[in-house]
Chains A and B, each alone.
Chain A
Amino acid sequence: MAEPILFILMAVGALAGAITVVAARNPVYSAMGLLGTLFSIAVLYVLQLAHLVAAVQVVVYAGAVLTLFLFVIMLIGVDKSEDWDEKLPYQRAFVGGLGGLIILFAGALTVFGNFDWVPAAADTIPEATNGTIQAIAEPLFTDWVLAFEATALLLTVAAAGAIALAHYRRGQA
């Protein structure tokens, strides 16, 4: 009973946030719209009993990445809509067409009732929510430990590389 209500509330929140991101005249409002979208989607993850994914989404995206966005917006001071020139001339038509296709697709599924495209997730969700972290940690640190550590190394190299590039001066290095 509570699930559809929460889903509708959060879906509306996510869509409203997404519209704010593209429609707001002020970049800070766009960033806050993105925060609303990310947060609503995190609640949807919780509804699917994926607590860890929700928490990581909020910590990494809503927390770290968006704070960085806001910080950059404030430091550079882009708080006015400076130019409205279209840099990519066809993007509006392209995105509009894509969005229309997706709505048509969803409408067709509803009209013809071919719900095999969107099977209910209920069968695959484990009964208990407790243990989700342990359930994720076990394959991650046994079967996939090499991939996991390689990813960690890759991210460290990327961060070090970004710092090196930022500090690079011709003739000094």
Chain B
Amino acid sequence: MLVEVRWHGRGGQGIVTVSRMLAQAALLDGKYVQAFPEFGPERRGAPVTGYTRISDEPIVIHSQIYDPHIVVVVDPTLIGSVNVTRGLVPKGLIVAHFDNSPGDLRKRLGSYDAKVYTVNAMRIALDILGRPIYNTAMLGALLRVAPLAKLDSLIKVIEERFPGPVGEKNIAVIKRAYEEVQGDE
């Protein structure tokens, strides 16, 4: 089965990085993957999207993603200004960085036929990294609610990409987000 994920964030928040790390982790699990940015020039601070496709079969399609199964919102300030649920398939998943409950987020998004999950990624990042870099937290939250890759595989990807203390701290961030993510069911 082909799963399509759309990432929402702002230029400079590591959206391309997480879209690729998810793909890298799935690759370690033997999956076929694609990860691509929103094509074109990059502008720091501007709303951006990133995309990941994961499948058990070779992926031959090369069009953009219009109807994702999962939307991950890395920057909470986008909610309300960017239509983050655009094209999301019915009964899809929304995993958002949001400091209130999934129920509150659902109210903000209006009625939508999707499962909603939230995690306070900023608090986790500040507690562990001491800096507001919360893209990796969203990877942890995502893998808890959608088993797109093994958590161990993601940890391996992080260890390889950021050897040493930076990697260790990011792994701690991922694990805590994995534990703390909440659903509205």
Q: Are A and B genuine complex partners?
A: no
